[in-house]
Amino acid sequence: MDVVLRPVREDDLPLFQRFSIEPGLIGLDWNGFRDAQAPVRRFAEDGFLGKDDGRLMVRTGSETAGLVSWRTGSFDGRTTYWEIGIALLPEYRGRGIGWRAQALLTAYLFEHTAVYRIQASTHPENVAEQKSLEKAGFRLEGVIRGCEFRAGRMRDGYLYSRLRDDPAPELGNGSVTGSGTAPVEEPLAD
Ligand SMILES: CC(C)(COP(=O)(O)OP(=O)(O)OC[C@H]1O[C@@H](n2cnc3c(N)ncnc32)[C@H](O)[C@@H]1OP(=O)(O)O)[C@@H](O)C(=O)NCCC(=O)NCCS
């Protein structure tokens, strides 16, 4: 399967805006309407490639399937890790894109940043994301009790992680395209 991560382009902004204002399109993480101009401002600022967080688009074939994200966090206030996230459009779910995109993002972050730990959280009812993370080489660490207010009440979350020394998943027989060890498209020159 052909899955590639690439930088955000201006013509991706309508997709970001749809996730901000279409109820439920983003999945269980829908928590009300958001400022639809925020993605426009953020793109103008740094193209969603900041020091402490970022986003890349998920491409399959010639189509844009969704996006992946990462943001920094710290347990001890000194040592940083990344927390990753993903949102695919409904028509691209359940086709093997999600686990590959998260495996590619993890490989990209381990290659280009010195973190030892990458974590991801999900919801107890999000079986697709739980399986997707496990296929991407993540392990369940435990239940984080009462960690998020969602759909009208406080809820538990599941925390997963992959450490730099953990085995990477087999991505297949060369079917995931990219640029060698960094399976992410180079930005197009203007
Ligand atoms: C969660 C998400 C990223 C998973 O990606 P995906 O492309 O749909 O999942 P994949 O096709 O890579 O499947 C990975 C595994 O999950 C299983 N799976 C996929 N959808 C499933 C579902 N709805 N229920 C149960 N298992 C499911 C697949 O069968 C596969 O496991 P298998 O190889 O053992 O068969 C994607 O569905 C999505 O973007 N959902 C909406 C946003 C979201 O929930 N993001 C995560 C928030 S924490």
What domains are defined for the chain? Answer: 4-163 (3.40.630.30)
Q: What is the pLDDT of residue 171?
A: 81
Q: Which residue's CA lies nearest to atom 7 of ligand 1? A: 98
Q: How far is ligand 1, taken at its centre, from the CA of residue 90, in Å?
A: 11
Ligand 1 mean position, distance from CA 29 (Å) = 14
93 ligand 1 Cβ < 6 A: yes
Is the CB of 42 within 6 Å of ligand 1? no
Please tell me the predicted confidence (pLDDT) of residue 41. Answer: 98
pLDDT the model gives residue 176: 40
Q: How many whole angstroms separate alpha carbon 68 and alpha carbon 22? A: 18
Backbone phi, psi, residue 167, to 5°: -65, 140
Instruction: Single out the residue of 18, 23, 28, 31 nearest to residue 64, CA to CA.
Output: 18
**Measuring CA to CA, how many Å separate 38 from each of 16, 31, 34, 66, 89?**
9, 16, 8, 18, 20
Q: 74-117 pLDDT, tens per residue? A: 999 999 999 999 999 999 999 999 999 999 999 999 999 999 99
CA of 125 to the centre of ligand 1 (A): 12
Q: In testing the pocket of ligand 1, which one of 26, 99, 126 has its CB within 8 Å of the most ligand atoms?
A: 99
For the CA atoms of 117, 122, 128, 134, what is the dihedral angle to 10 degrees?
A: 20
Report mean pLDDT in 10-residue bins for the chain, 190 residues.
96 98 97 97 98 98 98 98 98 98 98 98 98 98 98 97 96 47 47
